[in-house]
Amino acid sequence: MSKPVLHFWFEFASTYSYLSAMRVEDMATAAGVEVAWHPFWLGPIFKAQGWDTSPFNLYPLKGAYMWRDMARICAARGLPLRQPDPFPQNAILAARTALLALQHPQGPAFCRAVYAAEFGQGRRIDSQELIQELLAETGLPAQLAEEASGDAAKQALRDSVAEAMRLGIFGAPSFIADGDLFWGDDRLEMALARLSA
């Protein structure tokens, strides 16, 4: 019998997606669940809500709290945390590359490497150089970074955003378990429980 699948929707610019990306595979394995990784882009979704940047920038109190909350959670989980400049990062190149990388077994490792660079080390993730470095680090072909600027990769990201909107996704990370939407790293346990019940 095939394992149940947790659909993990994530945005590379999102801090709480970092938290989930770093633990989702281990937790899913422990629950007997497979993970389908879905990189997407929040830009058009936030725009539809009338936002032109991260809500953590639009609402400064919420933004200050988010960094405090992240610092506490990262400390508890032994994860490094450094704020990249600017925040949010332009994550489109990373997302397009990830869609290609996820056609290979090393795809999830590449996604974790992007997050580790961005929020573990505070590096910018919008350059070809960084993306190529991370592809090499995870044993993926360097040309994926160039293919990511091609029409097929652009279309793949547009399709991913359209699918996220169709699913009612409005933020990241989001999980779809058994057709039901769960939003936020703090709902990962509930989403997995749905599948292993």
Q: Which is nearer to its own copies, 23 or 68 (CB)?
A: 68
Q: Does 67 bind its own copies (CB under 8 A)?
A: no
Q: Kindly report the CA angle at 147 between 151 and 92, in degrees rounded to 5? A: 75
Q: Which residues contact 134 (CB under 8 A, 6 or more apart)?
A: 110, 113, 114, 117
Give how many residues touch its own copies by CB under 8 A: 20
Closest separation in Å from C-beta 27 to its own copies = 16
Measure CA 46 to chain center: 16
Place of tokens 């919420």: 62
Closest separation in Å from C-beta 43 to its own copies = 16
| Both structure tokens of 164 | 């996220």
Q: Which is nearer to its own copies, 62 or 82 (CB)?
A: 62
Q: Does 69 bind its own copies (CB under 8 A)?
A: yes
The DSSP secondary structure of 107-162, one letter per residue, reads HHHHHHHHHIIIIIS-----SHHHHHHHHHHTT--TTHHHHTTSHHHHHHHHHHHH
Place of tokens 């422990």: 30
Q: Does 23 bind its own copies (CB under 8 A)?
A: no
Question: Which residues within the stretch 27-56 sit at the binding site for its own copies (CB under 8 A)?
Answer: 49
> Which residue in the set 32, 44, 65, 77 belongs to the binding site for its own copies (CB under 8 A)?
65
Among the residue ranges 35-43, 64-72, 140-148, 152-160, the one whose residues contact its own copies (CB under 8 A) = 64-72
> Which residue in the set 124, 128, 146, 170 belongs to the binding site for its own copies (CB under 8 A)?
170
Q: Does 154 bind its own copies (CB under 8 A)?
A: no
Among the residue ranges 13-21, 31-39, 152-160, 168-176, the one whose residues contact its own copies (CB under 8 A) = 168-176
Among the residue ranges 27-35, 57-65, 126-134, 144-152, the one whose residues contact its own copies (CB under 8 A) = 57-65
120 dihedral zone (left: phi>0; alpha: psi -120 to 50; beta): alpha
Whole-number Å distance between alpha carbons of 57 and 12:
16
What residues line the site for its own copies (CB under 8 A)?
A: 49, 59, 61-62, 64-65, 68-69, 72, 168, 170-171, 180-184, 186-187, 190
